[in-house]
Amino acid sequence: MRRHFHKMHGLGNDFVIIDARKEPFEVTAALARAIADRRTGIGCDQLIVLQPSESADLRMRIWNSDGGEVQSCGNATRCVILLTGVQSIESDGGILEGENLGVEVEVSLGEPRFGWNEVPLAYPMDTNELPMAWDDLEHPQALSVGNPHVVFFVDDLEAVPMEYVGPVIEHDAAFPERINVNVAQVEDGDVRLRTWERGAGLTLACGTGACATAIAAIKTRRAESPVRVTMPGGCLIVAWAPGEPVRMRGGAVHVFEGELDLEALQ
């Protein structure tokens, strides 16, 4: 069996996108891992499947490269808007709205949530400053922008061994659904960010991570909205004020399309 797919990326965070609005497509964790495998599959950070929706223009489902299904993906949202032209997307993290502005795509990810059980954390803690530390990384903020994030601000981003500390924090028992780990440095109100993504590891950019980090920077007056967030793959502009949805603007690129050989992947 063969199935049409699109390969897209948002600032180097890459996706295999399958449009299953007319023809259903069943995903198992094993199939998601096989498609995402860069040696034997197509290769991607996340597999995205588009389905019909009753509450929005379409439903977007997201699988990390480890095969786990998750709630939200900021960079994929911009790609899906570019690909399909829709303006509202149902996701497990909420309704996402956006618009293709031409060179860039703008997306609203809804209002962030700061309750310990909304992140979620394993037990009550002050999400403005978790009383926790991992080596030199300490007291992160925790929040949900549809998916769970912690944000650390540091003086020297390059000195942080993300490959070592990222997976340790991701799997800490304090985070029952695991967590996306953002480490950022702020200079003159501009944010530089590296993200260890839950279920995908270090990526060139993370859209929800950029939103979570900009919100954390605005809350602590390290930066003012709109915030420029620069990641290894490029930059996003993030706007937010307390009580409002977070909005993100940036690029999205269609790379190629082709046919998946599903039998070869099993």
Catalytic residue among 73, 79, 211, 235: 73
Q: Token pair of 131, please? A: 């009383």
Site map 75..114 versus ligand LBFN2T5F, x via CB under 6 A = x---------------------------------------
Residues 136, 165 contacting (CB under 8 angstroms)? no
* 108, 127, 182, 208: residue in contact with ligand LBFN2T5F (rule CB under 6 A): 208
Query: In this structure, what token pair is assigned to residue 114?
Result: 């700061």
Three-state DSSP state, 212: helix
Return d(Cα 143, Cα 228) in angstroms, integer.
Answer: 19
Please select the residue that binds ligand LBFN2T5F; options are 17, 35, 70, 96, rule is CB under 6 A: 70
Q: Residue 39 is which amino acid?
A: R
Task: Residue 112: name the closest of 239, 258, 10, 261 by CA.
Answer: 239
Tell whether residue 207 is among the known ligand binding residues: yes
Does the annotation mark 206 as catalytic? Answer: yes
Question: Tokens representing 112?
Answer: 């962030």
> Exactly one of 13, 108, 127, 144 binds ligand LBFN2T5F (CB under 6 A); which one?
13
Inter-CA distances, 32 with 2, 65, 146, 148, 195, Å:
15, 7, 21, 21, 21
Per CB under 6 A, 73 contacts ligand LBFN2T5F:
yes
182 marked as binding residue? no
Calpha distance 133→59 (Å, rounded): 38
Q: Is 235 a catalytic residue?
A: no
Question: How far apart are CB 198 and ligand LBFN2T5F at their closest, in Å?
Answer: 4
Interacting residues with ligand LBFN2T5F between 30 and 69 (CB under 6 A): 45-46, 64
Catalytic residue positions, numbered: 73, 206
- Contact residues toward ligand LBFN2T5F (CB under 6 A) are 13, 45-46, 64, 70, 73-75, 147, 180, 197-200, 203, 206-208
